[in-house]
Structure 1
Amino acid sequence: MPTAIITGASRGLGRALTSALATAGWTVVVDGRTLTAAPAEPGVIPVPGDVTDPDHRVALVEAALATGRLDLLVNNAGILGPSPQPPLADYPLATLRDVFEVNVVAPLALTQLALPALRKHDGAVVTITSDAAVEAYAGWGGYGAAKAAAEQASHVLAVEEPDLRVWWVDPGDLRTQMHAEAFPGEDISDRPLPETVTPAFLDLVTARPASGRVRL
């Protein structure tokens, strides 16, 4: 039975991916700042906490290794930054550091801890990204810059770890709390639910195409 770690699994896309993998027979170690300690469903091992906390990252990997293996790391946890999104001319720099800490530094730190186990099992690393990483949208400079940095880190990791699969995955605009925060006061009910992209995600981790950028 393969084992995955998914960060930011208390809601939205992370929760949907967790359910999809657990239903497919995976053991899934999950975290989230608002996660409870009780398993949400069979096969799910909750480790509540903040991915920016070094001790918590160690606990996540240890929980996965306790199952006997680690096959997949999904760096899904992230923060948007201010809502509404400010222009770069007015972007608070302390907040920008927080956005980079959660979206870039913490995922890399967790990946570093997970790499030895992932190498043993021909594993894969998924980093959830956004079209804001590759398109210039007014007001999205902070979040977009962080996601661009996360994509480049993934690209370099793919070159440095040719025996692994490394994918930076853009799920598209989804009906999530974060997306609602990005457009305060707007109706986002026309966006698809996160569960709509889980079949494509399962196809990805099953088919294991070459490392690269993936649009679900």
Structure 2
Amino acid sequence: MPVAVITGASKGLGRALAEALAQRGWDLVLGARTSDVLARSAEHARVHGTRVVAVTGDVNDAGHRAELVAAAGELGGLDLLVNNASALGAEPLVRLDALPLEGLRVALETNVVAVLGLVQEALPLLRAAEAGTVIALSSDAAAEAYETWGGYGAAKAALDQLAAVLAVEEPELRVWAVDPGDMDTDLYTAAVPVDGDGEYRPAPETVVPGFLRLLDERPVSGRYGAPALLGGS
């Protein structure tokens, strides 16, 4: 069975992806910081009869990253690495003139530096896989200028560039930066606690088919957005 490592897998999109892959027979290594919530996510995935290893920890910790990859190796290898764990840098989000520099450092460390660290740890197993794949969770804030989203958007823009260069340097892999669009998640609520725009935001589960389409069709490495993946414009 193929093996995937998913960070930030205790809830939201990470949990939804884990369940969808488990339904397809994937074995999983799930990582997150909160052990009890992560355990529930793992149990949901195990219902489908696959092997699921829950590894509690912070992606900023090199030891945790090594543990995630080691767990994948014990399951037989690593076919897919989903870098879903993320940090806003400020909760709620603030304008750049009020953004704590330490908050920006946290966003960069979690969204970029930790991702590269995990990729470096995982590359030997990904290179050995028949269809080694890396997914980096991007954001429209990486490409558009939204008030208060500057720190987070800058980190995600850096992540997009990291993914693009990785794709050039590792042509045998598929490397996709994926913008899932706005979703009804704890991350968005933390970013904008009082959101008065009245706009509907879909549940993370509704975006999962786009990720499955990528895995089924395996297009060239690059940046992809949810609307196109889900069949829209």
**TM-score band w.r.t. shorter chain:** over 0.9
Asked whether 1:60 is paired with 2:88, we answer no
Q: RMSD between aligned alpha carbons?
A: 1.3
Q: C-alpha displacement at 1:189, in angstroms?
A: 7.4
Asked whether 1:17 is paired with 2:25, we answer no
Number of residue pairs the alignment of both structures matches: 216
Matching residue of 2:191: 182
Quick check: 1:175–1:189 contact (8 Å CA) kept in 2? no
Deviations 1:86-125 (A, max 9, x none): 1112211011111111110001100001011101113000
Match for 2:147: what amino acid?
Answer: A
CA distance in 2 between partners of 1:186 and 1:166 (Å): 33
Where does 1:73-92 land on structure 2 (aligned, <5 Å)? 73-92=81-100
Q: C-alpha displacement at 1:181, in angstroms?
A: 1.4
Deviations 1:42-79 (A, max 9, x none): 23211111111111100000000001111000000001
- TM-score normalized by the length of structure 2: 0.89
Residues 17-26 or 75-84, more deviating:
75-84
- SS of corresponding position for 1:66: helix
- SS of corresponding position for 1:74: strand
- SS of corresponding position for 1:166: strand
- SS of corresponding position for 1:47: strand
Residues 202-211 or 147-156, more deviating:
202-211
Match for 1:82: what amino acid?
Answer: A
Residues 57-66 or 183-192, more deviating:
183-192
**Which of these residues, 149, 154, 174, is aligned with residue 145 of structure 1?**
154
Deviations 1:117-136 (A, max 9, x none): 10111300000010000001
Give the percent of matched residue pairs that are identical in Structure 1 and Structure 2.
Answer: 55
CA distance in 1 between partners of 2:210 and 2:53 (Å): 23
Matching residue of 2:33: 33
Asked whether 1:128 is paired with 2:157, we answer no
CA distance in 1 between partners of 2:65 and 2:127 (Å): 18
Deviations 1:129-150 (A, max 9, x none): 1000000111111000000000
